[in-house]
């Protein structure tokens, strides 16, 4: 018997580290809300610990990280490791920002489920989330 979802998909959008550019993450947050997702935006300069704490407290399905500072590997790995430590491996982590192509396989091996760089289409991000969150 297939269970149907009783609540909207819940996404936590965050800007870890010292990155101060938030236009893209704000645009995506609005697009996800328009698509019917429940979205929490934590704001700028979040720590991996605060992101994971909020994700668990808010019972989110997805953490969306926006990173433009070049420290995406370290920050995403910390978030994924903290999720594992807290037994929250079922939360999907996706990443957006200026990510070099050669880093994508490393990020995926570390547990990032998808990487969306400049020019990614909102429809593709929405579709990915819908297709990868468990019902």
User: Which tens digit of pLDDT belongs to each residue from 60-111?
Assistant: 999 999 987 778 899 999 999 999 999 999 999 999 998 999 999 999 999 9
Q: What proportion of the chain, given as a percentage, has pLDDT over 70?
A: 94
What one-character DSSP code corresponds to residue 91?
S
Q: Is 34 helix (H, G, I), strand (E, B) or coil?
A: helix
Q: What are the chain's domains? A: 10-132 (3.40.50.280)
- Mean pLDDT score, 121-131: 97
Q: What proportion of the chain, given as a percentage, has pLDDT over 90?
A: 74
- Mean pLDDT score, 34-53: 95
What's the whole-model pTM score? 0.92
Q: In terms of C-beta distances under 8 Å and separation of at least 24 residues, what long-range contacts does 109-116 make, across chains too?
A: 110/73, 110/76, 110/77, 110/80, 111/76, 111/77, 111/80, 112/76, 112/80
- The helix or strand, by DSSP H or E, that contains position 85, with its residue range, turns out to be helix 72-85
pLDDT of residue 133 exceeding 60: yes
Residue pair 48/76 in contact by the 8 Å Cβ criterion = no
Cα dihedral sign for 106, 103, 12, 57? positive
* C-alpha Rg value of the chain to the nearest Å: 14
Structure tokens at 13: 């959008």
> In the prediction, which pLDDT does 68 show?
78
What one-character DSSP code corresponds to residue 2?
P
> In the prediction, which pLDDT does 134 show?
78
Residue pair 86/65 in contact by the 8 Å Cβ criterion = no
């Amino acid at each position: 018997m297939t269970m149907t979802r009783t609540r909207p998909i819940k996404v936590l959008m965050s800007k870890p580290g010292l990155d101060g550019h938030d236009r893209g993450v704000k645009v995506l947050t609005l697009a996800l809300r328009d698509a019917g997702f429940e979205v929490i935006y934590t704001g700028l300069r979040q720590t991996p610990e605060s992101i994971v704490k909020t994700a668990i407290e808010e019972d989110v399905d997805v953490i969306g990280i926006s990173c433009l500072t070049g420290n995406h590997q370290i920050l995403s790995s910390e978030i994924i490791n903290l999720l594992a430590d807290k037994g929250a491996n079922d939360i999907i982590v996706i990443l957006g920002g200026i990510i070099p192509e050669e880093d994508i396989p490393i990020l995926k091996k570390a547990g990032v489920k998808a990487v969306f760089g400049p020019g990614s289409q909102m429809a593709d991000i929405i579709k990915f989330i819908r297709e990868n969150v468990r019902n």
